Amino acid sequence: MKIFNCSLTVLSPLHIGGSASEANTMEFYYDRKQKYLYHVSEKKIAAAFKGGGLTEDFLNFMNSGEGSLEDYLVITPYIPRESIREMLGGRKISLKTQVGRIKTFRPLLQDPLSKRPYIPGSSIKGALRTVALLMLLDRDAYSHKEIERAVERSKFKDRQRVGKSMVRRLLETAGLEHTKSGPHRDWLRSLKVSDAFCEDPEPSSIREVKVVSLNKNGKGYHWGAKGNSIFIETIDPGTTFYFTMEIDRGLLDMMGRFRKPLFDPEELFDNTIIKKYVSEPEQRFWKQCELPSIQAKEQQRFGGTCLKLGWGSGYLNTTIGAYLSENVRLQIGQKFYRSRYNIFPNSRKVIVENGAPVDTLGWCKLEKV
């Protein structure tokens, strides 16, 4: 067993959501002077109002249609505001958007013990899996022509099957005796990735996200998804998470007894394959959208081993799509995603500040410590 201590530095706002639904106005209030939001659990809210003898009063207020925890704390003249806020407590989150605009937001996934945001090992391994697939394709493990034929022969309902068959051929090829093809033969079984934690006590902010879509004439952009905003809690750029990666050499040797591995998991640490295949289409997209500031940020990020994690990672960073030609990507978009544009994908999720796109989501840099 070979163990590596690793770091993952966040380069652009990162959101990894949990299973919990969006937090609504009943679950948070503001510190307007300091521009913070406090996210409070239902148990804390119930305990605070019970302790202050205000449970019935609060319920009557909410039933009157006034609307939010913040309104109750601000409007109601007779409640001891400061003592109630003290009892409510809550998780303090910085605001990178205008106070009062948020009706709901999506919280980050939290560690059950520390109640602090973390990055699951499964998310990191999933991003490394994309790196491995691109690396194998780069070594001609699956030719362009074969992929083109598979796409041409398939129908809309075949999307999952076509993708899975390609992954099986690339990664699920270990030569194990008495084992059928499938996950048991996956070379990445030899790689174990722990959850990642940071030391920063306040690593997150609430940010506004919209969808940028390229105009049909290939120049400039418009807001997609009806121009709707989504508010999410994100890990701030510059935050560093620490975790371990283990390579089970014994298992890898056993899996490679009858067939030589097509790659060594250790190669995933120092790999510029994402830069080779993702950098060019991403920069071209932002250039066509006429957003040079985002184009420049994307260009600067492709140094060392870069991964894209979490919500908003996009098609090119979670599939083998970046390896494919523009023509094949367009066929995939039209056939499997009902795209009506002459480029696929034709949209990206972006961070918005003061009504303008300022950054993409999820870029992280992987390093050995």
Cα distance between residue 318 and residue 267, in whole Å: 19
Cα distance between residue 102 and residue 36, in whole Å: 12
Determine the 3-state secondary structure of 41 from DSSP: coil
The answer to whether 142 and 171 have CB atoms below 8 angstroms apart is no
Percentage helix, strand, coil for the chain under 3-state DSSP, each rounded to 5: 40, 25, 35
Q: With 0-12 CB in 10 A as exposed, 13-18 as middle and 19+ as buried, what is 209?
A: buried
Is the pTM for the entire model greater than 0.85? yes
Scan for tokens 């994690």, then name that residue. Answer: 309
- Per-residue pLDDT for 181 more than 70? no
172 confidence band (pLDDT: 50, 70, 90): confident
Predicted pLDDT of residue 287: 96
| Average pLDDT of the residues in 38-61 | 90
The answer to whether 234 and 207 have CB atoms below 8 angstroms apart is yes
DSSP 188: G
Cα distance between residue 340 and residue 319, in whole Å: 20
The answer to whether 134 and 96 have CB atoms below 8 angstroms apart is no
Distance of CA 225 to the CA centre of its chain: 19
| Average pLDDT of the residues in 156-178 | 74
The answer to whether 93 and 108 have CB atoms below 8 angstroms apart is no
Rounded percentage of the chain residues whose pLDDT exceeds 90: 47
20 confidence band (pLDDT: 50, 70, 90): low
236 confidence band (pLDDT: 50, 70, 90): very high
The domain limits of the chain are 2-16+117-368, 27-105
- Per-residue pLDDT for 366 more than 90? yes
Predicted pLDDT of residue 178: 60
